[in-house]
Structure 1
């Protein structure tokens, strides 16, 4: 019996080595594809291609009596590793002769664009909001600038906007503020050149941004800045066009409500003297999730949190709706309205199918 097992294990070892050789050949092919994409400015990540690969291989797996979920999991791991190997060069620079790009920022979103633009070979001048002297610096730093990327407080933005008229003709303004209804309209009212609004929908601390997304809003003269949207896609990031009303509505659920919930949750922990260390003994995974949320909450810019919570026009009304809904759920639970609660679960389940 032992000899039979060893014989079978030897065959498995041979197959494992063959599998490694196949994966090595696949990675070598991926590197060649990456070089072609680099030379032609093509994006690394093509969602349709990945989806088709997974769908076809799952169908083939079923025919061979293999779990399609197992194959899907393996392929996603292989494909994600392949993307890393595809990115063997710096990103293709779509506008190699473009003038210097100025970034004025007060948080990590500005640093993200600084990093990606430098990797792509653009000339960058980066200034932190706290180091910007509006009266002394603006006239100097606005000379020979092709693009200004702005992500500052509303107070600072009001001062910068007054100086936008001295920018070179057709200089592109990129607004990164999450509060587009305030910032975007303020810029468009004064500046008559090309304006684009962007908002990343991902963790900017990451080093690799494939399969991530950015929302964009057209402001004015989109033909002048359309190349920049293509440049973002070359980075492997998906872009989604959205109007200003939907943008601020979505940001409420993506950012404002999240901050409100975390802020409330942390306060409840503090008031009730809940120990995260004791929770970790009961449930390690849940504690890790808590710590991740809490740490990220305290690391980022506190002023940004306050602005997102307080300066969105409809935030108070939306938070009130949220609290009313919580009260309604509590009423159903308190009065044992099991059928209605079951209907809510069913509706949620159907939405996420």
Structure 2
């Protein structure tokens, strides 16, 4: 019996070696594709092709009597590794003769753009808000092709009139989270090209495949359209949204989420709940929850304050959120089972519709 098992295991070992050789050949082909994409400034990721591959391989797996979910899991892991092999240390530069790009920032979002633009071969001048002397700003604004700003609203109000001395057609990129406030100030004064951006991911990552950035048009989009293409070359998906929708969606994507986590952690602290004990009692789901909680607090405190307090009508929106909680608590307190079931059904239908879409 043991001899037969060993014989079968030897065959499995031989197949494992064949799998490794096939994967090596596949990754070599991927590197060649990555080089072609780099030379032509193409994005790393093509979501439609990825979906088609998964769909076809699931069908083929089913025909061969193999679990489609099993094959999908394997393929997603292989595809993710393939993207890493496609990725070059230096990205294709779409404007090789572009003038210096000035970044004025007070948090890590500005540092993210600094890193990516340097990797792409652009000349960058990075300054922190606290180190910028407004009296010397005239010389700083000379001979630049783009200015990326992520500063406090109070500081923006101080330098707003200085934007008039920027070179003609200098692209102004606004990274603020509160576009309704910043855009109103900027567009009133500056008539050159204006673009609003906001990343929706952990900017500490080294690889941004399938991550996304929201963008809002300001003025003269033809002059900065190339920059949106440059961002796509980094493997990032971009989504166009108007200023009002930007702030509305960011409230639910970021502000309300941070407010909830801030409340949740405060409640744990005040009740002296041990995170380590929660971890022991609720593995593995707590690992995911703890990972999410830690990532909420990687940014600067000022960014959280801006997201929670500085949005237009944010306090009213949070108030509605608390009213919603109170209404739900009322139903729970009074055992309104039918109404609670109806709410569950509405949520189920909402999720089903979103999954279909």
The verdict on a shared fold, with TM-score over 0.5 as the criterion, is yes
Alignment match, 1:233: 232
Alignment match, 1:13: 13
The alpha carbon displacement at 1:147 in A equals 0.2
Deviations 1:76-129 (A, max 9, x none): 000000000001351000000000000000111001000000000000000011
Alignment match, 2:212: 213
**8 Å Cα contact 2:202/2:295 also seen in 1:** no
Structure 1's unaligned 5+ residue stretches are none
Structure 2's unaligned 5+ residue stretches are 353-357
CA distance in 1, matches of 2:208, 2:159: 30
Q: Which stretch shifts more, 259-268 or 294-303? A: 294-303
Where in structure 2 are the equivalents of 1:96-175 lying within 5 Å? 96-136=96-136, 138-175=137-174
The alpha carbon displacement at 1:294 in A equals 4.4
**8 Å Cα contact 1:35/1:89 also seen in 2:** no
Matched, 1:176 2:175: yes
- Give the count of matched residue pairs: 352
Aligned residue for 1:169, secondary structure, equals: coil
Q: Which stretch shifts more, 215-224 or 331-340? A: 331-340
**8 Å Cα contact 1:212/1:238 also seen in 2:** yes
CA distance in 1, matches of 2:293, 2:279: 14
Query: 4+ residue runs of structure 1 moved beyond 4 angstroms?
Result: none
Aligned residue for 2:272, secondary structure, equals: coil
CA distance in 2, matches of 1:225, 1:96: 15
Aligned residue for 1:127, secondary structure, equals: strand
CA distance in 1, matches of 2:54, 2:280: 39
Q: TM-score, normalised by structure 1?
A: 0.96
The alpha carbon displacement at 1:232 in A equals 0.4
Q: TM-score, normalised by structure 2?
A: 0.95
**8 Å Cα contact 2:177/2:306 also seen in 1:** no
Aligned residue for 1:150, secondary structure, equals: strand
What do you get for the CA RMSD once the two structures are aligned? 1.4
The alpha carbon displacement at 1:54 in A equals 0.7
- Relative to structure 1, the CA distance from residue 294 to residue 77 in structure 2 (aligned partners, 3 Å threshold; closer, same or farther) is closer
Where in structure 2 are the equivalents of 1:298-337 lying within 5 Å? 298-337=297-336
